[in-house]
Chains A and B, each alone.
Chain A
């Protein structure tokens, strides 16, 4: 570690900051005007790299490369406008959660479309014509192209700045960012403005992606990594602030570069390799900023947060019919091991469904009655699973002890993360929970010595008699039923009421002596605990656990399960999780393009069945009753 090494890494950091800045600036602009967090923005960036690759290789030469970059940015801008026009325009008034999910569906669809068009291989573009060489700095070689990237980001920032300050369009964008009602009052064609902003934001993402073509290979994982980073940048910089986005992109990139520059350090007799903690460091920066300045470095407080959905009906205890149905279903499930002789797969599916139910019910607990849209529920699943698996791996603990450790690990994580999360609301809460989940994921991924890194932990099989899948199925069934009933019981108890009171009207709740933050914090912890049980059961069911099973994907699966069933009822998550798990294990395994299929299901849900399956059935029953 020396000064020249630092400076070199710092320059490197600046050049990677530029790509990040383009995506984040676009994301921020779009959010400022339309109040939509476009999770698919990373996908537009990824498309940018792929399209630029094709243009650079097919046309070739200076024009193919440099002209290709400009053409790519324009094409992606057009695509963005089309997405806004066809899809997002319909959901501006929908609850925030639905908007997030709809754009997430786009990620899935764009990813599969890219797979279909370009195939699964990584594609490295040609080097930039005219900038093939490198200059020597402190005895190391820095590519000229990297220097170009360092310069281009502030130039674009400056152009954007001038554009926003001097043009009519810019004034409208600023006015809309500050006060949306005003734009309507001015008689501006709001629809046009939104489409234009979406096009501009997408243009920036496409440009950022295209510029990377000479630097890193285009690959299918870019969308999620880039959006993760861009989220961090936007949240750190402040939603809606472009200068903030640049500042934050530089800070984040520099912190990462610093970690790499520091390298391995020996402390207290332990050697710690900082370059392995870049992911963790990034999210720690975000968490720290959010705690000190909840609206980011240059952001302003956002107005009131819209609700998850329409207000729900008062909770009523289960009707005799529902109780009867529950007993019948339970009876049928208990009988399932009898069928196992003829088709053993049924039990495996059954276990998957049960675990999904427990996972979804715990997420629903905080999302529905608590009103906290966690986008990182996988964290507690992962903590539970790893808590159990690591105990088996390192201490050869018996299954009973490991299954006890699972909820405890998850509870501790939820207590820690929840304490911060309940201080925020709406999209900020969603992003912070996502960031925490990424921290858990990154820690597991990068702490190879303890967790086995990307290989995960294997050999976590249940001992006899649970090695028999019928017996294990019964255990899972039992714990799931206990977990779901306990959550239900809590929701009907004073604590559950207090949680809903805090969601319905924090003002009123505080005015009758309820400590809303603390109630929501404990609710968060309870959900984490139950989710940890699901994680522990999962580890033993699969015999292993790896980082990829506890990633963003699982968090989103949970959200889809809850919304699929319907967020407003207690049976919703159970039905949703069952349907989703069965779909996933059957239809989705059949096709290579299951992501796109899932994306279409989500879009259908958001647009056509906002109340979910159970909500839909209830509405149908109601209509049927009034008709007869």
Chain B
């Protein structure tokens, strides 16, 4: 059964065709990696699926709804969670409050004016933090955290509405290699337990080849390959994109402060 089905998605910025006629599917419970060099259009794809950008054309079917053109918050309510390439949390709140905020919103209590927010869903928030290994930092200010830890908090927030699809744009950017493997392993374990489908991007090929169920490759806005680790490794076009230019699969880290549209 397919969970997410992308059909002929396209987006151009001025003359740049950031995403050009891309189609692919994510099956229920699948752990799908999207890879590609810098500027390939990965984040643009994510931003369209999550509603931050409106596609020029194409359809994004999630379960029985076409997401194209919906606002991010509407898409979130349909059961799609998201983490960002540049981690975004609420700097003036504690770690646990960040997660509580997501739970409050999920419960439809955003407009309540009276009961203190700090008392709402604290237990559930701590549970989520425990799952991502951040329970000990629950009462610290989230802006004091190391970058890798912020990414974990983001993950806990993304899990707060029990999503059926999780979009993760470079969940491990800015982490040490050891930490990356651990985080992706953790995500994989969680989503298998909960039956969540995941679409993620990742620059570290070791991580991708070790954990992804399937891999799709984007280059200059086009989908050039789709298959399991072996197929991708031996795919001539992929080799051309990665090896042909003298670059290797072990890619340089993108700047963590690249602005998000």
Min CB distance B166 to A, Å, is 12
Q: How large is the interface on B (under 10, 10 to 19, 20 to 34, 35 or more residues)?
A: 35 or more
A493-B113, A495-B111 known; A314 vs B73 contact (CB < 8 Å)? no
Which residues of A sit under 8 angstroms from B102, Cβ to Cβ? Answer: 512-513
Query: Which of A110-118, A325-333, A500-508, A558-566 is the interface stretch?
Result: A500-508
Most B CB within 10 A of own CB, among A508, A509, A510: A508
Residue of A nearest to B154 (CB): A508
Given known contacts A490-B113, A492-B116, A512 and B161 CB-to-CB distance under 8 angstroms: yes
Indicate if B106 sits at the interface (CB-CB under 8 A). Answer: yes
* B109 CB within 8 Å of chain A: yes
> Is residue A274 within 8 Å, beta carbon to beta carbon, of the partner chain?
no
A494-B52 CB under 8 A given contacts A505-B90, A510-B71 = no
Asked whether any CB of chain B lies closer than 8 Å to the CB of A464, the reply is no
Q: Report yes or no: A519 in contact with B110, Cβ–Cβ below 8 A.
A: yes
Interface code A303-331, partner B: CB below 8 Å = 1, 0 otherwise?
01000000111110100000000000000
Q: Report whether B88 and A508 are in contact in the complex, using a CB–CB cutoff of 8 Å.
A: yes
Q: Which residues of B contact A519 (CB under 8 A)?
A: 110-111
Interface residues of A, dominant DSSP: helix
A171: Cβ under 8 A from any B Cβ: no
Contact B111 A514 (CB under 8 A): no
Q: Mark A322-359, 1 if CB is under 8 A from B, else 0.
A: 00000000000000000000000000000000000000
Cβ of A496 within 8 Å of any chain B Cβ, yes or no, is: yes
Question: What count of chain A residues pass the 8 Å CB interface test?
Answer: 32
Indicate with 1 or 0, residue by residue over B89-109, a CB within 8 angstroms of chain A CB atoms: 111111001001110111001
Closest beta carbon of chain A to B214's beta carbon, Å: 25
Q: Which residues of A contact B36 (CB under 8 A)?
A: none
A498 with B94, Cβ < 8 A, contacts A489-B114, A507-B52, A522-B111 known: no
Contact B105 A498 (CB under 8 A): yes
**Number of cross-chain contacts by CB at 8 Å:** 116
B62 lies within 8 A of chain A by Cβ: no
CA distance A313 to B141 in the complex (A): 7
Nearest chain B CB to A144's CB is how many angstroms away? 49
Kindly list chain B residues whose C-beta atoms are within 8 Å of the C-beta of A510: 52, 71-73, 76
User: Roughly how many angstroms separate A304 CA and B72 CA in the complex, as a whole number?
Assistant: 20
Q: Are the C-beta atoms of B90 and A504 separated by less than 8 Å?
A: yes
Least Cβ–Cβ distance between A427 and chain B, in angstroms: 19
Contact of A507 (CB < 8 Å), options: B77, B88, B113, B157: B88
A492–B119 Cα gap in the complex (Å)? 10
Within 8 A of B (CB), among A465-500: 489-490, 492-498, 500
Residue A314 contacts which of B97, B113, B154 (CB distance < 8 angstroms)? B97
Residue B118 CB within 8 A of the other chain: yes
* Interchain CB contact under 8 A, A512 and B93: no
Within 8 A of B (CB), among A515-559: 515, 519, 522
B245 close to A (CB within 8 Å): no
Q: Does A511 contact B (CB under 8 A)?
A: yes
Which residues of chain A are near B94, meaning CB under 8 Å? 314
Instruction: Provide the bound-state CA to CA distance between A522 and B106, in Å.
Output: 20
Residues of B near A514 (CB, < 8 A) are 73, 101, 105, 110
CB distance from A123 to the nearest CB of B (A): 51
Nearest CB in chain A: distance from B82 CB, A: 5
Instruction: Chain A residues near B114: list those with CB within 8 A.
Output: 489, 493
- B117 contacts the other chain (CB 8 A): yes
A512 to B92, CA, bound (A): 17
Least CB distance, B155 to chain A, in whole angstroms? 13
Does B255 interact with chain A (Cβ within 8 Å)? no
18 additional A-B residue pairs with CB within 8 Å, beyond A490-B113, A507-B260: A311-B91, A317-B116, A489-B113, A493-B114, A498-B101, A501-B101, A505-B89, A505-B91, A508-B88, A509-B90, A510-B52, A510-B76, A511-B88, A512-B73, A513-B73, A513-B102, A519-B110, A519-B111
30 A-B contacts, Cβ less than 8 Å apart?
A311-B91, A311-B143, A313-B92, A313-B141, A314-B97, A494-B112, A494-B115, A494-B120, A495-B111, A495-B112, A497-B97, A497-B101, A498-B104, A504-B89, A505-B89, A508-B88, A508-B89, A508-B90, A510-B52, A510-B71, A510-B72, A512-B101, A512-B160, A513-B77, A513-B106, A513-B161, A514-B73, A514-B110, A515-B73, A519-B111
Q: Which 6 A-B pairs have the closest CB atoms?
A: A508-B88, A504-B90, A311-B91, A512-B102, A513-B105, A497-B117
- Using a CB–CB cutoff of 8 Å, the interface residues on chain A facing chain B are 304, 311-315, 317, 489-490, 492-498, 500-501, 503-505, 507-515, 519, 522
Binding site for A on B (CB under 8 A): 50, 52, 71-73, 76-77, 82, 84, 88-94, 97, 100-102, 104-106, 109-118, 120, 141, 143, 154, 157, 160-161, 259-260
